[in-house]
Structure 1
């Protein structure tokens, strides 16, 4: 009996030892009187958790979704507002306004969207139908361990622009943190203050990662991030008024999260000077000029949250703009004069290969004969027309012509990775969407 208990204890200890949780808070002054907070929570565990009924770090509902629906990887984001390119590069990949979901799943896309809809109190179940998702080939690829035998070959992508981020989405998202909002950096998340921001985006994603350098052992990584940007002119009398973490987030730090291996706060460098707290600073690599100071939450004093930061609120410099940016505008109105303009801007002094992906609503009819592509030289302002190359990928019926027995051609283009359908028996009223965009 003693030997059995010892073996059981060793198995339990090994399963706990393989689990890891780290949390970070990045603070940066963006110029123009804007301040950004980026929360990053990462949990990893061995894949042996699939064969267990008890979970320590990773939330049980997420593991159940991966097991039941055979999902290899998924990424969900819900955003409100638009990231201004004057703020520079985002902390993570910029997500479109509304809900965005992409996953590596074969047959259970319908069930996955409904399950996530229930977990995060969002209308993600509307993304389950054929009209609302596409299967990109060149743009969205699995970010987990490559060449893994169980990874699905099917990547499905969908958007729901009208889905706004609110406290109903943030509450369940917070509950999947090991310490929830009771301690650690999660205790700084107060919905009444967070939604006073000009921009906020919440993400959660699961993927497979290597647990050792040789990648002999595969594990699961759960990543949760929250990015909020505040306009201090709306919170204080002036943009130059001193501000603190407490005055903006409106909450107190409730101590170190015992489940965390590391819990740190980073103050990132900006183009203007900013005073920083000097007590209990961690050593920062001198080669990394992006970080002004780093602190461990285990050693933070009670005065840190109330420390008054002072910045001048100057306008940001063009040199802090992102390397590549994209904007899209609607022009005109109706099916005759209506159109879409997309601007891709590269600030690099070297050549870049860019894949542009755009999910066109299924009810929108696109006329490829009107497509025009121009290249603009920023120095001379000379505009050069570029002739696009079209490739017929496959033949698929439109949603309207399926029952009529008609046939439609699916046309894809290299620069804009999306498809539309042109009926061979006349233009359909509802051209549908292209499920595959092979080129």
Structure 2
């Protein structure tokens, strides 16, 4: 730790030499927003840009690649991107449930529970997209210490409409999408440590010094994401984000919603990252006027309080940004009913009285006064079979088939590995204003071999959440006005037909007992000798 501090001090002395990092730019930002339920949303954003860089053409994978010399861009991730010719990459690791109604849309749309990975790759005759997808999953699994290797063909789909290219399309060949999710993946310190190693200053300086794992993983919701996007006029952009929703009311003794950097992260910003071109903390000022913020700034521009922590600013000592409500004795939670902060509210359940059949129900509420059109995507593993002839769309207990269009369904298909691919259901929903649309369909639950069940078979199986997304080039006033992105429903826990795993144990015990009795009796008969022993008086 002392050695790292010495190197950072030396780097600060040579701050004017930032011109040596030609073609690379790094900036960081922290966004803090007090929420109406007393919680505090924090979003860290670390962006590194390789100016003028172009993704590798997959048609030249057999040829030697150009040398990779990075000063700010992480070499470990850059080698993976070049090895498998990745044009665009998105990886998210989240824990918890994002509350859209009370927290609004997140700054980063990817808030699905567990792990979600999707990538765009160009086609090539030298190496197929599926082969490179397998190598990418295993490489990222080792880099971030996550179970991404489990995202095999049983969980991989290609929903191109819901997950389009975020950047530009390279001129070489066609591109294909691969998407997979693992809702049962847990997020822990083993994932945060390699995440921080991708930053130029690691966690020794800059805003990343606030990332205390004991505090971050104690939040009500937390997640990290890695985005690699190619923009034609900019280059390759790497964006690392970490989101967390803290609850100061729960952790404070007086049940107050006051917060500061020290109370949220148990750390403060002691030094700036010398290679960051910009480093700022942005606090979104709440609409209510009975609050105070320190340090005070001359003016709040557009409801934002911006603090500059870059090395070029006057930042020289530790700073602790704080917001408090002096006239509030204790925080009073707002009483329902509360207006939703998002145009759509979604609920999704699966119910049934048996382990073989059930009903999947989805309820979508349009909170806006305008009609909303949204895409609906279900990606179900082969554990469940959707019976499309039972699909019903209802509003106020009246069947409205005209509100569902563009229905596409891909049933599970056998793969070369002998496994079944997941099913994919995609449709366009039209929700009238101030109404609730209900979708229901019957499902069948698969019978698995006893060797295919996980160790905790009685717990059940996690199913990925459904995705609602705005339609491309949508002219809907509600969607364009709110600027909403993808909405993820929480995952479902389904109870499949499970064998009684205690029976093999009982059979083994009974068999061993019988074998012991039989073997012991036969062994005694064969080896014991009967002799007459005379006992003298």
CA distance in 2, matches of 1:58, 1:31: 38
- Asked if 1 retains the 8 angstrom alpha-carbon contact of 2:52 and 2:236, the reply is yes
Which stretches in structure 2 are left out of the alignment for 5+ residues? 1-16, 57-65, 122-128, 430-444, 449-537
- Asked if 2 retains the 8 angstrom alpha-carbon contact of 1:25 and 1:264, the reply is yes
Shift in CA distance, 390/54, structure 1 to aligned 2, threshold 3 Å: closer
Asked if residue 154 in structure 1 is aligned to residue 176 in structure 2, the reply is yes
After superposition, give the CA deviation of every residue in 1:32-83 in whole Å (9 maximum; x if it has no partner).
2211111111111124487443101110111111111011111000000001
1:72 aligned counterpart, secondary structure: strand
Determine the structure 1 residue equivalent to 2:218. Answer: 196
CA distance in 2, matches of 1:31, 1:393: 40
Shift in CA distance, 125/28, structure 1 to aligned 2, threshold 3 Å: same
Determine the structure 2 residue equivalent to 1:81. Answer: 96
Equivalent in 70, 81, 87 of residue 66 of structure 1? 81
- Asked if 1 retains the 8 angstrom alpha-carbon contact of 2:356 and 2:446, the reply is no
Equivalenced residue count is: 389
- Asked if 2 retains the 8 angstrom alpha-carbon contact of 1:244 and 1:308, the reply is yes
After superposition, give the CA deviation of every residue in 1:327-381 in whole Å (9 maximum; x if it has no partner).
3222224356522222223323333321112211222111112222223xxxxxx
TM-score, normalised to structure 2's length? Answer: 0.65
Determine the structure 1 residue equivalent to 2:261. Answer: 245
Shift in CA distance, 323/300, structure 1 to aligned 2, threshold 3 Å: farther
Asked if residue 373 in structure 1 is aligned to residue 393 in structure 2, the reply is yes
Determine the structure 1 residue equivalent to 2:239. Answer: 223
* Equivalences for residues 31-46 of structure 1 within 5 A: 31-46=36-51
Q: How far is the alpha carbon of 1:269 from its aligned partner?
A: 2.6
Shift in CA distance, 276/153, structure 1 to aligned 2, threshold 3 Å: same
Determine the structure 2 residue equivalent to 1:379. Answer: none
Asked if residue 55 in structure 1 is aligned to residue 70 in structure 2, the reply is yes
Asked if residue 235 in structure 1 is aligned to residue 257 in structure 2, the reply is no
Superposed CA RMSD: 3.4
2:195 aligned counterpart, secondary structure: helix
Asked if residue 206 in structure 1 is aligned to residue 228 in structure 2, the reply is yes
Asked if residue 138 in structure 1 is aligned to residue 161 in structure 2, the reply is yes
- Asked if 1 retains the 8 angstrom alpha-carbon contact of 2:270 and 2:317, the reply is no
Asked if residue 310 in structure 1 is aligned to residue 325 in structure 2, the reply is yes
Q: How far is the alpha carbon of 1:187 from its aligned partner?
A: 0.4
Determine the structure 1 residue equivalent to 2:197. Answer: 175
TM-score, normalised to structure 1's length? Answer: 0.79
Q: Answer with 110-119 or 346-355: which moved more.
A: 346-355
Q: How far is the alpha carbon of 1:396 from its aligned partner?
A: 7.9
Determine the structure 2 residue equivalent to 1:295. Answer: 307
* Equivalences for residues 349-388 of structure 1 within 5 A: 349-375=369-395, 382-387=396-401, 388=404
Determine the structure 2 residue equivalent to 1:422. Answer: none
Asked if residue 113 in structure 1 is aligned to residue 137 in structure 2, the reply is yes
After superposition, give the CA deviation of every residue in 1:210-265 in whole Å (9 maximum; x if it has no partner).
4xxxx3xx510001111111122321113325331111211121311111111000
- Asked if 2 retains the 8 angstrom alpha-carbon contact of 1:72 and 1:152, the reply is no
Q: Which has the larger radius of gyration?
A: 2
- Asked if 2 retains the 8 angstrom alpha-carbon contact of 1:33 and 1:239, the reply is no
Shift in CA distance, 26/371, structure 1 to aligned 2, threshold 3 Å: same
Asked if residue 25 in structure 1 is aligned to residue 30 in structure 2, the reply is yes
Which stretches in structure 1 are left out of the alignment for 5+ residues? 1-11, 376-381, 417-426, 431-439
Shift in CA distance, 235/52, structure 1 to aligned 2, threshold 3 Å: same
CA distance in 1, matches of 2:397, 2:410: 34
CA distance in 2, matches of 1:112, 1:25: 30
After superposition, give the CA deviation of every residue in 1:271-315 in whole Å (9 maximum; x if it has no partner).
434311244x48764xx34x2x11101444746316453385344
CA distance in 2, matches of 1:126, 1:383: 41
After superposition, give the CA deviation of every residue in 1:138-194 in whole Å (9 maximum; x if it has no partner).
11111011x431475211111101101100001100110111101000000010111
- Asked if 2 retains the 8 angstrom alpha-carbon contact of 1:71 and 1:104, the reply is yes
- Asked if 1 retains the 8 angstrom alpha-carbon contact of 2:269 and 2:319, the reply is no
